Structure 1
Amino acid sequence: MTPPSSPPVADLPAPGRGLGPRAAAVLVFASSAAVLVVEIVALRLLAPYLGLTLETSTLVIGIALSAIALGSWLGGRLADQVDPHPLISPALGVSGVVVALTPLLLRTTAEWAPPLLLLVAAATLLVPGALLSAVTPLVTKLRLTSLAQTGTVVGRLSGVGTFGAIVGTVLTGFVLVSRLPVSAILIGLGVLLVIGAALAGWQARRWRRASAVALATVVVGSLATAFAPGGCDAETRYHCARIVADPDRASGRTLVLDGLRHSYVDVEDPTYLRFGYIRALAAVVDTAFPAGTPLSAHHLGGGGLTFPRYLASTRPDTRSLVSEIDGGVVRIDRERLALGKTTGIDVRVEDGRLGLKRQAADSRDLVVGDAFGGVSVPWHLTTSEALRDVRRVLKDDGVYAANLIDHGPLAFARAQAATLASVFEHVALVGRPGDIGLDPAAGVEGGNLVVVASDRPLDAPAVQEALDTRETDWRIATGAAVAAWTGDAQVLTDDYAPVDQLLQPHRTRTVR
């Protein structure tokens, strides 16, 4: 019996006008790269309002992947029903308009209609993401003219698209964000997409329509740059930063990061401490060490460098090493906050935990943790492994003091206290009486509190006297009071540290 012969390989009719292999590769590469640029920059735009947290990142990634899936499905379906060629230009053009509008839409919504922020953010990710992702199946259909080359065409364009996504990711993370404001990145990308739409429209004989879209995008981009709220003096790798002068104190400056008052610096008088938690840190340190004695200190997080300046002024010859991850903030310290006037401060642009690992054992009298913000927390500095490294760096009588920010039931702060208690012999809390359990009737206000840990006991009455002298209503809790306040809170480890989840239900934009 003769087996049936295989059907001959047939050629597929080319829909519409053809598309050359180079043009196809450029379209797929550029559209895939643009999707990732928008995704990464969206995280930067949302961070001042939602925090740079695990939840925010998950949300943005989830929406971006949904857009890619929707666009791929929709583009493939349309490509089989109509001529794909005329669809490419509108997909690029509309994407460009939405991308250019994104800074204006998100910042305006965040300022004037916060409840709608997530909805608007989802739309500004979904629309361009889906349209740009639809380009690949549209282009693929135009290139599929023979069944014999199906695998080659699909595989090549899939590889080109993936490579484009990689280039978009690397270019944004390592180059664009460090050199350009996020609004400029998105407006520039929008203009490039519209130019691409114009070129594709010209090839499809729709030049006038594409040119009108290009003109509209340029106008909208200019308006977005001029009128979008949330302007920054500088956009660093991690923050939107501003310096605000104190109208009541000529030499006073406030460093605002992502809309939150992060540091207050008196450029003429480093001993003037405005924020309550800084006064609490000063009370603890001035009590723990003899007055005027120079210290060797390591600061995890710098901000405006208020406390290192204070130590340099009140304890001459103190050597402070500061690990600050954001080089843009360090530049602002030098250019706008008179860092050059202060000696004894060595600032390194590095991650705080990596900076700790580089320090010799028993080399520091004091480690200060001040890397936590109101809407984001570097969780890897909160774990028992990180705190054991702090203990390794400290001398036998050394002290670790950290500023914490929490709200609601203070679940994160309690977990941090429990983690410290698993590493150090003595843990103390400094904060408002209601927040640290000393006055239950006062209720929990939330906000800042200072946690102190050491292998030697602190002189609590002396610390309280120093707090009272500094005109603060904060109090200190030690021993059994801290244990009762901490309760059965979990110990944070590198393997399990759900810091964002502990904070998220009560995360707020309350300033320090």
Structure 2
Amino acid sequence: MTTSESRDMSRPSGRSIQLSATGQQARIIQDEHDDGWVLEVGGMIQSHVDLDHPRRIRYEYLARIAHVIDVCWTATRPLGVLHLGAGALTLPRYVQATRPGSAQTVIELERELTSLVISELPLPAGTDLDVIVGDARAASLELSDQGRRFDAVVLDIYTGLGEAEHLSEESFYAELLAMLNPSGVLLVNIGDDAGLPYFARQARLLESAATDAGFSGAWTLVDAGLLERRSAGNLILAAGDGMSVADPDELRSALLARGPHPAAVLDPAATAECVQAST
């Protein structure tokens, strides 16, 4: 299904729907802190959208993903982006705003979720977004079999506490890396508990998959305070040809400058050291 809709000026209805895969309730409601809107699933806020300013990303982890995309490709260049899980489509809106003409694909397990988001928070005119309903791994493998390749692949599905383990295996990272175009980047959101044990495990797995594929390894982007305290939070792992640069210091400096601050950007060697400290 290809979606291209322009926003009308009506407010989201606030209606609640039941998601078939998990049985949870989902709705779009007014944000308590600004003029934006949030996606609430199972009583928990999942995503934030500012329809008038789609370049504005509230959540730091998602902003770090956006900044990798900004740094790795020339400004305004249209990209092919695969989103595995996309919440309220905050990042697809950002890519469309900054890189008009980009062809984007979303894979979402919950059939009703993306329909709710698009109907309540319509996408900007001209958005080229293909929505696929299904398991992220099975659907991405089908795309790979079709010869589909992407500039960026974003994996933003919670896989901690034993959930969706098939999406956190080294073999899956290898499959996603193989779907990248030259200069492509795989970006993985890791949500972890204090001590960062899950991050350490996933960083090792991505490091192995990346080096086996001929890339330099796994980079880490994170709040510097979270990393220093080893406190619970979100960390971004990145790998691929686009991160395998001749001058890692230059890429690190460019990403650090983007923030959000306080920021920490670890190249593959520093990521490996961090993993050792977390085990």
Structure 2 vs 1, CA of residues 385 and 488 (structure 1 numbering), >3 Å: closer, same or farther? farther
The structure 1 residue matched to 2:141, chosen from 357, 382, 406, is: 357
- 1:314 paired residue number: 98
Q: Is contact 1:383-1:419 (8 Å) kept?
A: yes
Offset at residue 374 of structure 1 (A) = 7.5
CA distance in 2 between counterparts of 1:366 and 1:263 reads 20
Q: Which residue of 2 aligns with 1:236?
A: 19
**3-state DSSP class of the match of 1:416?**
helix
Could you tell me whether the CA contact under 8 Å between 1:297 and 1:365 is conserved in 2? yes
Between the aligned partners of 1:314 and 1:398, the Cα distance in structure 2 is: 18
Q: What per-residue deviation string (whole Å, max 9, x for no partner) do you get for residues 127-165 of structure 1? A: xxxxxxxxxxxxxxxxxxxxxxxxxxxxxxxxxxxxxxx
More strand by proportion, 1 or 2? 2
Query: Which whole-Å CA distance do the structure 1 matches of 2:160 and 2:41 have between them?
Result: 10
One-letter code aligned to 1:431: V
Correspondent of 1:472 among 257, 261, 272: 261
Alignment check: 8 A CA contact 1:362 1:396 kept: no
Take 1:274 and 1:434, find their aligned partners in 2: how far apart are those partners? 18
Secondary structure, counterpart of 1:312 in structure 2 = helix
CA contact (8 A) 1:333 1:339 kept: no
Greater relative contact order (Cα 8 A, min sep 6): structure 1 or 2? 2
- CA offset digits 1:206-231 (Å, max 9, x no partner): xxxxxxxxxxxxxxxxxxxxxxxxxx
Checking the alignment, whether the CA contact within 8 Å between 1:309 and 1:342 is kept in structure 2 is no
Please report how far the alpha carbon of residue 291 of structure 1 lies from its aligned counterpart in structure 2 after TM superposition.
0.8
| Fraction of identical pairs, as percent | 27
Aligned counterparts of 2:87 and 2:101: Cα–Cα separation in 1:
22
Q: Which segment is superposed worse, 312-321 or 450-459?
A: 450-459
Q: What is the alpha-carbon distance in structure 1 between the residues aligned to residue 70 and residue 176 of structure 2? A: 20
The one-letter code of the counterpart of 2:268 is G
Query: 2:253 aligned with 1:461, yes or no?
Result: yes
Q: Flag as ranges the 4+ runs of structure 1 deviating above 6 A.
A: 373-376
One-letter code aligned to 1:433: A
Q: Which amino acid aligns with 2:149?
A: S
Query: Tell me, what secondary structure is at the counterpart of 1:338?
Result: coil
Letter of the 2:263 counterpart: W
| Conserved 8 A contact 2:195-2:278 | no
Q: CA deviation at 1:434?
A: 4.1
Task: Give the Cα–Cα distance (whole angstroms) in 2 for the partners of residues 410 and 429 of structure 1.
Answer: 13
How many Å separate the matches in 1 of 2:233 and 2:28?
22
SS in 2 for 1:333: helix
Alpha-carbon distance between aligned partners in 2 of 1:356 and 1:488, rounded to the nearest angstrom: 33
2:27 aligned partner, one-letter code: R
Question: For residue 191 of structure 2, what is the aligned residue in structure 1?
Answer: 405
Q: Give me the CA root mean square deviation.
A: 2.3
Residue 235 of structure 1 and its aligned partner are, at CA, apart by 1.4
Q: Take 2:278 and 2:263, find their aligned partners in 1: how far apart are those partners?
A: 23
Q: Is the 8 A contact 2:108 2:133 kept in 1?
A: yes
Specify the SS of the correspondent of 1:484.
Answer: helix
**Once the 2 structures are TM-superposed, how far is the Cα of residue 480 of structure 1 from its aligned partner?**
2.3
In the aligned structure 2, how far is the partner of 1:273 from the partner of 1:483?
29
Task: Return the index of the structure with the highest Cα Rg.
Answer: 1
Q: Give the Cα separation in 2 of the matches to 1:465 and 1:435.
A: 18
Residue in 2 that maps onto 1:262: 46
Output the CA distance in 2 between the equivalents of 1:403 and 1:342: 28
* Contact residue 195 and residue 231 of structure 2 kept, 8 A: no
**Take 2:51 and 2:160, find their aligned partners in 1: how far apart are those partners?**
24
1:415–1:489 contact (8 Å) kept in structure 2: no
Distance 1:341 1:282, change over 3 A: same
TM-score, length-scaled by structure 2: 0.83
Task: Provide closer, same or farther for how the CA distance between residues 488 and 274 of structure 1 changes in structure 2, counting only shifts above 3 A.
Answer: closer
Q: Distance in 2 between matches of 1:249 and 1:243?
A: 14
Unaligned runs of 5+ in 2: 1-14, 211-215
In structure 2, C-alpha distance between the alignment counterparts of 1:270 and 1:407, rounded to whole Å: 30
- 2:49 maps to amino acid: V
Instruction: Confirm or deny that 1:484 pairs with 2:273.
Output: yes
Partner SS, residue 269 of structure 2: helix
Q: CA deviation at 1:369?
A: 0.7
Displacement of 1:254 in angstroms is 0.6
The one-letter amino acid of 2:180's match is L
SS of equivalent to 2:130? strand
Specify whether residues 333 and 373 from structure 1 end up closer, same or farther in structure 2 by C-alpha distance, changes over 3 A only: farther
2:61 maps to a residue whose letter is Y
- What secondary structure does 1:268 align onto? coil
What's the CA shift for 1:284? 1.1
Distance in 2 separating the partners of 1:374 and 1:320? 26
**Are the structure 2 counterparts of residues 255 and 375 from structure 1 closer, same or farther at C-alpha, using a change threshold of 3 Å?**
farther
Give the TM-score, by structure 1 length.
Answer: 0.46
1:342/1:304 CA distance change after superposition, 3 Å: farther
AA at the equivalent of 2:185 = V
Secondary structure of residue in 2 paired with 1:323 = strand
Q: Partners in 2 of 1:376 and 1:302 — Cα distance?
A: 20
Structure 2 partner of 1:245: 30
- SS at the partner of 1:386? helix
| Structure number with higher helix proportion | 1
Report the counterpart of residue 428 of structure 1 in structure 2.
219
Structure-2 separation of matches of 1:374 and 1:483: 21
Match of 1:325 among 109, 115, 122: 109
Native 8 Å contact 1:362 1:392 kept in 2: no
